[in-house]
Each structure stands twice: as structure tokens, then as C-alpha cells.
Amino acid sequence: MRNYTNKDVTDWFNAERHIMTNYIVAHTQYSAKDKSPEVIEHIKDRADRHLKHSLNRMAKIIHQGHGNKVTRKPNEYRPATIATIEGLKPSEMGKISVHINLMIGNLPPHWRNPARLQTLFEHCWADKCGQRRNIKTQNYDDRPDLTFYICKENTQPGSISDSLALEATHLPESPLFAD
């Protein structure tokens, strides 16, 4: 899988935002309160890996019976995803858990319903990865504030706060469900 940069994500999103259909906020079981910077970085990496695993499971379920298409032709079948990991800033520690903000798209029409998508994501996130069931799913409506919120740049070089979850990000080149 390709490694993306913040610029790749922002450029792709500015050109292809019409593909995105849903927005998910999912809390992890992790808290960054009273943790060293090394432990916080480890928490961020684990959250990113858990999200990638959840999204891989989701893609196989969405295309059940054709799961190999997701692996063989990811630029057509794999859901488009852009995610950030938050709750790592010193000002937020202890107030909120580490959580994921996820925009997802390139989904077949019958999977775009927020309730159905939330049930699937909850199964993959909470049941299979052991994360919290505190998940909110809504339709993505291309609001400028939401677009900025998910694509904002880190405020300081080397900062680990408001980080893009690059392992779990997928930006398809020829999405099948780009309607």
C-alpha cells in the first residue's frame, strides 16, 4: 500500500471529495493522560493499526463473496478513507479519550446508510479489535468546517497531535462507486 503525505491527502480530497459519503468518530480504549511522548507515539501507532485492521475487515464484508477484488483491485473496490487520530494534545489529555475521525466513501449504495455502516464498523472496531463502542456515524455533507477539520495540517513540525492516520488512509485512483 502507498504511503501518503498530508499534501497528498489534501490534494486528493480537494479533487475527489464527492466520493466521500460518511463521517465516523470512533473512540479507542486508550488515554494519553500522564503518558510520556514515546508512549503517546506508541498509542497513536496502535490506534492507526487497529483502524487499518478494522477497515480491511469491513472491505471484505462489504464485498462478501468477492473479497479478493478488494485485494486485487483496491483502487476500484476498497473504500476511500481519510482519518485523523486525536486526543493526543497535552491540553486534551484527561478530558477526552484518544479517538479517530474518519471520512469514508467509495461504498456501494446499500452500505451508505449511517445505521447500517455504524453496525458494521462497530463489529470490526469493537468486537474484533477490542476498542470502545462509543462510535458516531453520520452522512458526510461536504461542510467546509468538517472538511477543514479532517484535513488540517499539524500545527508544529514533528507534532503527533491531530495526526493523519496514514496507515489506514486509502485514496483510490479509479473508485467504482464515485457517483
Residue 94 confidence (pLDDT)? 65
The model carries a pTM of 0.89
pLDDT at 179: 67
Distance between CA atoms of 17 and 89, rounded to whole angstroms? 28
Residues 6 or more apart whose Cβ sits within 8 Å of residue 117 = 22, 24, 104, 107, 111, 137
The answer to whether 103 and 171 have CB atoms below 8 angstroms apart is no
In the structure grid, which three cell numbers stand for residue 131, read together?
A: 476498542
3-state secondary structure of 23: strand
Domain boundaries of the chain, sorted by first residue: 6-164
- pLDDT band for 93, please (50, 70, 90 cuts): low
pLDDT band of residue 13 (cuts 50, 70, 90) is: confident
What are φ and ψ of residue 45, in 5° steps? -65, -45
Report pLDDT for 116.
97
| φ and ψ of 61, to 5 deg | -70, -40
Q: Quick one: pLDDT at residue 158?
A: 43
Average pLDDT over residues 112-127: 97
Cell digits of residue 153 = 495540517
Least confident of 66-75, 77-86, 116-125: 66-75
- Percentage of the chain beyond pLDDT 90 is 49
Concatenate the DSSP letters of all residues of 105-122 into one string. Answer: E---GGG--HHHHHHHHH
Beta strands in 54-110 (DSSP E): 80-86, 99-105
